[in-house]
Structure 1
Amino acid sequence: MSMDRRRFIRLAGGGAVAVTLGACGSALPPEAIAAWQGPGEQTDVRRWLVGHALLAPHSHNLQSWLVDLGVPGEITLFIDRSRLLPQTDPHSRQMMMSQGCFIELLDLAAREKGLRAQIELFPQGAFGPETVDARPTARIRLVPEASVAPDPLFAQIFHRRTNREAYEAREPDAAALEAISACVQAYPMRVGFVGAAQSEALARHRRIAREAWRIELVTPRTVMESLQVLRVGPQEIARHRDGISLNAPMARALVALGLFDRRQVPAADGASTTTQIQDFNTRIEHTPAFFWLVTEGNDRCTQINAGRAYVRAQLAATAAGLSMQPLSQALQEYPEQIGPYNEIHQLLGASAPRFTVQMWARLGYAPVIGPSPRRGLAAHILKA
């Protein structure tokens, strides 16, 4: 019996939700990934900048960026509050990091055009620590300046991927780690790595990651939040162009047969959940290194700057042939994750509340994968 057939029977018999939340086929609909070809020539340079910035990484690939271009020479950035993750990101910390990722890519694109991006965070005041509101997250004024130099990381924007596949056993090159560290030095935060040379610490990283993933999958409201943004098959992927894409033929067959009900919480001991846990544990067990960012404080500006630092680190990793996958589960601030949250902070010498682990990610060499869907330029512009 083939592996696909065995998996199909196991999933169907267990009332499966998906083969894995992270799996997807390579043949995504062309319209879903058209943004990765670039914005083309634009009469308004701001649209060209936004066309690059929207390729930034984002939690659950929700792409919650909205820009107002109503004032000439300015870009005002807002967060789309219809695209939040209230269960897994209850205080929108990860959302603020995603805003930072967008701002950093916009800044890199501006430099390519000889423009200084004068970035003012929260021009009408910062959000409180618990919620976000309708005020802008940033106002960016674009000023031509002859001294502005392009940043080499710009060249990696179209190659950057969040790679959830199995990583090779070999450790990252020391020069690559140095390049990653160097590229985030403009931001006041601590960068760290762990690999095989620190075998005991590496084992603890793996154990925390496994437990945090298990908790998210067996907590009904958090797993349902992911299922609500799961896009299965070419039609759904092309219609939404966001969220978690699943284009594997077996998953599409389950949908066609009515065996894939995303309205139902999968059983904690069911085939779907246990298969996902096993697959994730295997990838974690073979992950050769982990990367992290720690900040002192956790205010909204710090969160945005952590996003800027992270995407720079990922671009530098891309330039070195390395892949990254954020392990957000243990950093999330909902009650069930308090154990892994405390453990990873303790392990990294980042005692809360003084310090916050803003990013924790797998790091290693992995097969090349395709890009994730993007909604396109028009979806992000409030006012031209």
Structure 2
Amino acid sequence: MQRRPFLRVLGGAAVLAATPALTGCSSALPAEALAAWQPPAPVPPGGDVRRWLLAHAILAPHSHNLQSWLVDLHTPGEIWLYCDHTRLLPETDPHSRQILMSQGTFLELLHLAALQQGLRAEVELFPHGVFDPRTPPAPPHTHHATARVRLVPDASVRPDPLFAQIFRRHTNRSAYEQRAPAPPAVQTIVAACTAPGLRVDFALPGNARLPEHRAIARDAWRVELVTPRTMLESLKVLRVGPREIAAHRDGLSVNEPQPRLLAALGLFDRSRAPGPDDMAVTQQVQDFNAKIEATPAFFAMVTETNDRATQVRAGRAYARAQLAATAHGLSMHPLQQALQEYPEQAPHHAAIHALLGAGGGRGTVQMWARLGYAPPVGPAPRRGVQAHVMA
């Protein structure tokens, strides 16, 4: 979600030139942070298929890459999914709408993996009551239960072609080519995320609304950067350098030489938000604006309602949309800033809803994303199956 605060300082190039060990280092992420992206071994006879399913589900997209998924495997044939209340985003996502969508992306990949094993995943949402981030779970539970999933053998289920895209799907924040998504790709995305009470919207090249999409995206992005508490929330989950990335395997990874050097020298201060005119902000704004101007298309999902179950289902639909886009060589990059519900974003929240014919009782925009062709990028770190299994 394009929250990588690279601190740029004058003379940085000279500092780097004087540090050969860092200028020659690789920006590739450490192998242990990406180990989960290797397909799991086949399930042995008599083995527990649930861990095989989870090895796919944990590759789902998640807001800020926080991976708030906890699972309880104590009941044979079931997977209980919980939302880790220590991995919420109270500043940028005060109502946890994005977190609930991220729970939905997990459930959809779990469903696709279950089909691959001849299983039907029967999902019961909120078995302990509707999720409320302001209210702690009732004892004896320490986290909010999102779903109870029963795995039922069913000879009638068939694998879904989208399953093949799970290990290829990556959120791509780079610059996109200025060419329109192919019509068959658009049609496939629409078909993949069709659901009751949900509609999709595209702003494709030639669409008169494209300038408005771009303007809202630019303005909302800058608001998040210059609002200290929202910027600090991103800085809190920033992982700089291979040691931090390997230790956490979550959050927003930065492994380029310059920020690594600045962090090592104590010049990359993540405890204080930069000022609106600091180079750390102005450079990011320029970089982001250039990418937005070159973005050929935008994708959005609007739901009629906005209850918790709808948010989870919207997450499932987005997971399918992104997998379908991946199958056609397209990339997606969520632009959630304007959809966030804190006061400073209110004008942009209203603007994107009005642009998409939502708001004011006409529905809620659950997802808004850049869409286009781009050079492939690598995966984001994952914590591995065992990190999500409750004792």
Give the TM-score category using the shorter length.
over 0.9
Alpha-carbon offset, residue 354 of structure 1: 4.2
Distance in 1 of aligned mates of 2:338 and 2:135: 20
Partner of 1:37: 38
Distance in 1 of aligned mates of 2:309 and 2:281: 37
> 1:177 and 2:186 equivalent?
yes
> 1:71 and 2:75 equivalent?
yes
Identify if the C-alpha distance between structure 1 residues 39 and 368 changes in structure 2 by more than 3 Å, giving closer, same or farther: same
Identify if the C-alpha distance between structure 1 residues 342 and 131 changes in structure 2 by more than 3 Å, giving closer, same or farther: farther
Residues 260-281 of structure 1 show CA distances to partners (whole Å, capped at 9, x for unaligned) of: 0101111110000000011000
Distance in 2 of aligned mates of 1:266 and 1:212: 17
User: 1:79-94 residue pairs with structure 2 within 5 A?
Assistant: 79-94=83-98
> 1:100 and 2:109 equivalent?
no
Alpha-carbon offset, residue 251 of structure 1: 1.0
> 1:206 and 2:207 equivalent?
no
Partner of 2:385: 377
Partner of 1:28: 29
Distance in 1 of aligned mates of 2:290 and 2:381: 26
Residues 54-107 of structure 1 show CA distances to partners (whole Å, capped at 9, x for unaligned) of: 000000000000000000000000000000000000000000000000000000
Alpha-carbon offset, residue 187 of structure 1: 4.3
Code of the aligned partner of 1:206:
R
Identify if the C-alpha distance between structure 1 residues 196 and 298 changes in structure 2 by more than 3 Å, giving closer, same or farther: same
Q: Tell me, yes or no, if the aligned pair for 1:8 and 1:250 is still in contact at 8 Å.
A: no
Code of the aligned partner of 1:241:
R
Partner of 2:274: 266
Partner of 1:137: 146
Residues 22-45 of structure 1 show CA distances to partners (whole Å, capped at 9, x for unaligned) of: xxx751100000000023244210
Distance in 2 of aligned mates of 1:11 and 1:87: 32
Identify if the C-alpha distance between structure 1 residues 132 and 313 changes in structure 2 by more than 3 Å, giving closer, same or farther: farther
Alpha-carbon offset, residue 10 of structure 1: 6.2
Q: 1:245 is matched with which residue: 228, 253, 257?
A: 253
Equivalent position SS for 1:357: strand
Partner of 1:20: none
> 1:119 and 2:129 equivalent?
no
Distance in 2 of aligned mates of 1:10 and 1:70: 57
Identify if the C-alpha distance between structure 1 residues 132 and 37 changes in structure 2 by more than 3 Å, giving closer, same or farther: farther
> 1:109 and 2:77 equivalent?
no
Q: 1:188 is matched with which residue: 184, 187, 197?
A: 197
Alpha-carbon offset, residue 283 of structure 1: 0.3
Alpha-carbon offset, residue 295 of structure 1: 0.3
Q: Tell me, yes or no, if the aligned pair for 1:49 and 1:109 is still in contact at 8 Å.
A: yes
Stretches of structure 2 lacking an aligned partner (at least 5 in a row) = 1-6, 15-25, 138-142
Q: What is the root-mean-square deviation of aligned Cα atoms in Å? A: 1.7
Residues 272-308 of structure 1 show CA distances to partners (whole Å, capped at 9, x for unaligned) of: 0000011000000000000000001100000000000
Stretches of structure 1 lacking an aligned partner (at least 5 in a row) = 1-5, 14-24
Distance in 2 of aligned mates of 1:104 and 1:51: 13
Code of the aligned partner of 2:189:
I
User: Relative to structure 2, which stretch is displaced further, 187-196 or 309-318?
Assistant: 187-196
> 1:235 and 2:254 equivalent?
no
TM-score by length of 2: 0.91
User: 1:334-353 residue pairs with structure 2 within 5 A?
Assistant: 334-353=342-361
Code of the aligned partner of 2:273:
V
Identify if the C-alpha distance between structure 1 residues 379 and 115 changes in structure 2 by more than 3 Å, giving closer, same or farther: same
Distance in 2 of aligned mates of 1:111 and 1:359: 26
> 1:54 and 2:58 equivalent?
yes
Q: Tell me, yes or no, if the aligned pair for 1:189 and 1:296 is still in contact at 8 Å.
A: yes
Equivalent position SS for 1:143: strand
Identify if the C-alpha distance between structure 1 residues 129 and 348 changes in structure 2 by more than 3 Å, giving closer, same or farther: farther
Identify if the C-alpha distance between structure 1 residues 168 and 131 changes in structure 2 by more than 3 Å, giving closer, same or farther: farther
Q: Tell me, yes or no, if the aligned pair for 2:33 and 2:383 is still in contact at 8 Å.
A: yes
Equivalent position SS for 2:390: strand
Q: Tell me, yes or no, if the aligned pair for 1:91 and 1:131 is still in contact at 8 Å.
A: no
Equivalent position SS for 1:48: helix
Code of the aligned partner of 1:28:
L
Q: 1:301 is matched with which residue: 292, 300, 309?
A: 309
Partner of 2:168: 159
Alpha-carbon offset, residue 7 of structure 1: 5.3
User: Relative to structure 2, which stretch is displaced further, 133-142 or 227-236?
Assistant: 133-142
Q: Tell me, yes or no, if the aligned pair for 2:121 and 2:150 is still in contact at 8 Å.
A: yes
Distance in 2 of aligned mates of 1:128 and 1:318: 33
Distance in 1 of aligned mates of 2:156 and 2:109: 19
Q: Tell me, yes or no, if the aligned pair for 2:197 and 2:305 is still in contact at 8 Å.
A: no
Distance in 1 of aligned mates of 2:319 and 2:278: 36
Q: Tell me, yes or no, if the aligned pair for 1:74 and 1:140 is still in contact at 8 Å.
A: yes
Query: How many residues are matched?
Result: 366
Q: Tell me, yes or no, if the aligned pair for 2:103 and 2:315 is still in contact at 8 Å.
A: yes
User: Relative to structure 2, which stretch is displaced further, 288-297 or 123-132?
Assistant: 123-132
Code of the aligned partner of 1:37:
Q
